[in-house]
Structure 1
Amino acid sequence: MSRAKRASIPGASGVPTSIPAGSTAVGRAGSAVGAGPARAVTRVVDSDPLGGTVRRTVLPSGLRVLTEAIPTMRSVSFGIWVAVGSRDETRPQSGVSHFLEHLLFKGTRKRSALDISAAIEAVGGETNAFTTKEYTCYYARVLDEDLPLAIDVMCDLVADSVLNAADVETERGVILEEIAMHDDEPGDEVHDLLAQAIYGDHPLGRLISGTEETVSPMSRRQIQGFYRRRYTAPSIVIAAAGNLDHAEVVKLVRQAVRGTPLDSEPGTPAPLRPADSRVRTGRPGNLVEHKETEQAHVVLGCPGIGRLDDRRFALGVLNNVLGGGMSSRLFQEIRERRGLAYSVYSYSSQYADSGLFAVYAGCAPGKVDEVLELIRAELAEVAAHGVTDAELARGKGMAKGSYVLNLEDTGSRMSRLAKGELLFGDLLSVDDLLARIDAVDADEVNALAAELLSRPMSLAVVGPFGAGDFPAEAG
């Protein structure tokens, strides 16, 4: 299993992965159906010239099925997305979503753990899962002819896992090893430190995996209760992309969940995640984890914008200019001109009601002060004077090109359907999304830069330092 820690970090394009795609035809989640529909409701969502026809069905239980038919493919990516993640946990529950993600592969009433893995591997397919702060995903990628098998296996493990006590103890050990391994990866750990510095005790500031203190005493009863309370039909989106027939996928899903807890009473899809009034970011500060590493890892960041903020498109462009690729300001100044760091980049993470913007650098411990000074200077320069026309054009081109190129993969297409439905409540077609990026102008980017990059910054550091090695307030 994999654990997504920074799910909205952009790749080379700088467009946050949470930008929706698909079509505006869906509307807000759940609005397409009335209370407790008596039958499944299906509609065509989009017809994409770069892919195929997108359809959406809401089952009577409130479970949603979205597909994109791409007849030119010989594979299908199939995913089950649950609207629950680590931010839905209390402090004593910290890590339960991730724990559950592991356990669901350990066996159902119909299949053992070996049966689950062997069934998919026997046809050359692959399965995996990941947990984020706001959702959990279980997915498989198979040949088109093996899609019925993938649907049956994946729906079975998500809907009807038995959570044997022995398996709980086995996976507890595995997760504790994963936590220890994470502690040995300072380049990952430093990002979690920044989230803690910005969000404090709010669940957005906690580790997705939980800690040894929370995972060790977690009981099967606690995990089982969380499973049955949270994994309900209205909170689940099933998405598939590739060479498929929508009606057949819906039929197979209904067959697969029949007789399980997901074969529930009539319901409507859960609404979008509401804003949490408890999300408060405290005073900027420093968090320093002392480790005798050969390289220092630093992240400078501040509160950003939420994923429903219309300025997310401008943020994607701004991020490209600052640190989204080899032509970015930070990369050129810190690595290319001065040779101070091997890795330096900027990124944004966006949630339903909050977000953060940050810059990471890995460098020799003796160069940390100089690197931080250069980062702050570059952020201040862009905040004060904005970006050039050439940078704006390059940032927009990177965003559009990367997005479209990613759509050549069925996994990415499957993800965009699920994220649009689960996180945004509507889907932008590819053309609409590209038009939104094209519409970003210099005034919008510069206004966002002036606001965002002028905010006081928090600092996270992992390396051979103590808290007293840095000023009390970074920014």
Structure 2
Amino acid sequence: MTATLPPAICSSRSNCAPRVELLTNGAIVIAEQIPIDAVNLNVWLGVGSAIETDDINGMAHFLEHMVFKGTAQLQPGEFDRRVEARGAVMNAATSQDYTHYFITTAPQDFAQLVPLQLDVVCNASIPDAEFERERLVVREEIRRSEDNPTRRTYARAMETCFPGLPYRRPILGPDAVIAGLVPDQMRAFHKRHYCPAAMTVAAVGNLPEQELIDIVTAGFDCVAPASGDRVRHILPDLEPPFTEIVRHEYTDPQLQQARLVMLWRAPGLQDLDNTYALDVLAAILGQGKSSRLFRDLREERQLALSISAYNATNKFQGSFYISARLETDRITATEAALTDHVMRLQSELVSDAELARIRTQVANRFIFSSEKPSELANLYGYYYSQLGDIAPALNYAERVRRIEATDVRAAARQYLSPTAYGIVVARPPAG
């Protein structure tokens, strides 16, 4: 079955809609030819830390490491050597809502490397000895993460924002959990979640679309038929908006300047239409040297050493947050200034000139980050694996350009309360 989206919804390239095909094994293949002499393969699964239970928190990320440790056909390290021998590059990433594996290669090598990539992803053998060796690597990664003050502050912020949702948990998992996992648990996790019917495979580069699809289809010949289905998350009970100021303050002995994170709960991908105005709002407040918070709090009043704002969109629920690095004696004044900026956004319309500049900035940033085969394959795989639709990857810039000043004000009023928010403050030791 093939379903191709109409070119009219694509805002940044003409006639750019890729082909979307459902294979007989249940995998989705998204293929697009672009005139860049490389091809990227991106294998996406809707499997991340959010689907884990507390007792296996970190399994998805640990499995990402173990996927490269061999199959019945490939010895540990052989996949890496064969990829590198052709000058290709590969990697993987795990988040709360997904895991994906990607490889970029020359077009003439694509047909040789696709079966290898699908073999390691689908047929990972997870050898006991490799499991124990890689456990040490993952535990060291956890220790490095916990030793990073910025990551510690962010972790506290997510715990504040999502006390009930799994987004509160670390993607890497706690060290104690990783220390207790056994290979059979991971093999069962892999068998449950890594079947072709749960995969979105994006292939983008300088080969005809039908050839890309045929190569991916043939690549699955190495995968034994498996039961299973695309991961279907049940919509969880979302966190309600903050009804008061929830404040968490602590001393971090590694800090020399304080960290402040002010945050609100925001819509997720399941409520996609309400995320665009918040993306624009974040850019107005704290993205770039011409943003309001940078000019006011850093340049003019010199309250913050650095400051930025983001709208982070998870599958089910996101977070809008402002992050600042500052001296301890300026925390109170900075918090007050931030609430003043929120109140201004709620009471005043953004000027036409400022809105036009920000819309262009946000739209162009997206367009400029989706020119390479790897970037496009990332976008297609991300949106389809999360939403079952690639239209948002094609029309994002156009949706942003349609945001009006009234939309920005409405978003500020609905999601950013100046009297109800979460705030995490990390202070350096006194004296």
Same fold (TM over 0.5): yes
CA contact (8 A) 1:104 1:158 kept: yes
Q: Deviations over 1:30-69 (max 9, x none)?
A: xxxxxxxxxxx22333556457451111011211000111
- How far residue 341 of structure 1 moved from its aligned partner, in angstroms, is 3.0
Q: 1:330 to 1:45 in 2, by over 3 A?
A: same
- Residue 227 of structure 1 aligns with which residue? 190
State whether structure 2 residue 258 is matched by structure 1 residue 302. Answer: no
- Residue 43 of structure 1 aligns with which residue? 3
Q: Deviations over 1:397-445 (max 9, x none)?
A: 1121112111222211111211231222223377743332222111111
Q: Deviations over 1:56-103 (max 9, x none)?
A: 110112110001111x21011111000111110001011000110111
- Mark the runs of 5 or more structure 2 residues left unpaired by the alignment: none
Q: 1:444 to 1:332 in 2, by over 3 A?
A: same
- Residue 230 of structure 2 aligns with which residue? 270
CA contact (8 A) 1:386 1:449 kept: no
- Residue 249 of structure 1 aligns with which residue? 212
CA contact (8 A) 1:56 1:65 kept: yes
- Residue 446 of structure 1 aligns with which residue? 409
- How far residue 146 of structure 1 moved from its aligned partner, in angstroms, is 1.6
Aligned positions, number: 422
Q: 1:431 to 1:44 in 2, by over 3 A?
A: closer
Measured in 2, the distance between the counterparts of 1:43 and 1:429 equals 16
Q: Deviations over 1:112-152 (max 9, x none)?
A: 23211111111221111111111101101111222123312
- Residue 154 of structure 2 aligns with which residue? 191
Measured in 1, the distance between the counterparts of 2:177 and 2:55 equals 6
Measured in 2, the distance between the counterparts of 1:187 and 1:451 equals 29
CA contact (8 A) 2:162 2:168 kept: yes
State whether structure 2 residue 322 is matched by structure 1 residue 362. Answer: no
- Residue 287 of structure 1 aligns with which residue? 248
- How far residue 203 of structure 1 moved from its aligned partner, in angstroms, is 1.0
Q: How does 1:13-162 map to 2 (within 5 A)?
A: 41-47=1-7, 49-50=13-14, 52=16, 54-70=18-34, 72-162=35-125
CA RMSD of superposed structures (Å): 2.3
Measured in 2, the distance between the counterparts of 1:431 and 1:186 equals 37
| Matched residue type, 1:197 | T
Q: 2:380 aligns with which of 417, 423, 446?
A: 417
Measured in 2, the distance between the counterparts of 1:76 and 1:353 equals 32
| Matched residue type, 1:173 | L
- Residue 404 of structure 1 aligns with which residue? 367
| Matched residue type, 1:457 | Y
TM-score, normalised to structure 1, is 0.83
Find the residue that maps to 2:86 and give its secondary structure: coil
- How far residue 368 of structure 1 moved from its aligned partner, in angstroms, is 2.6
| Larger helix proportion of the pair | 2
- How far residue 380 of structure 1 moved from its aligned partner, in angstroms, is 2.4
CA contact (8 A) 1:301 1:359 kept: yes
CA contact (8 A) 1:290 1:462 kept: yes
Find the residue that maps to 1:450 and give its secondary structure: helix
| Sequence identity (%) | 26
Measured in 2, the distance between the counterparts of 1:409 and 1:326 equals 27
CA contact (8 A) 1:295 1:362 kept: yes
Q: 1:163 aligns with which of 113, 120, 126?
A: 126
Structure scoring higher RCO (CA < 8 A, sep ≥ 6) equals 1
State whether structure 2 residue 169 is matched by structure 1 residue 206. Answer: yes
Measured in 1, the distance between the counterparts of 2:260 and 2:56 equals 29
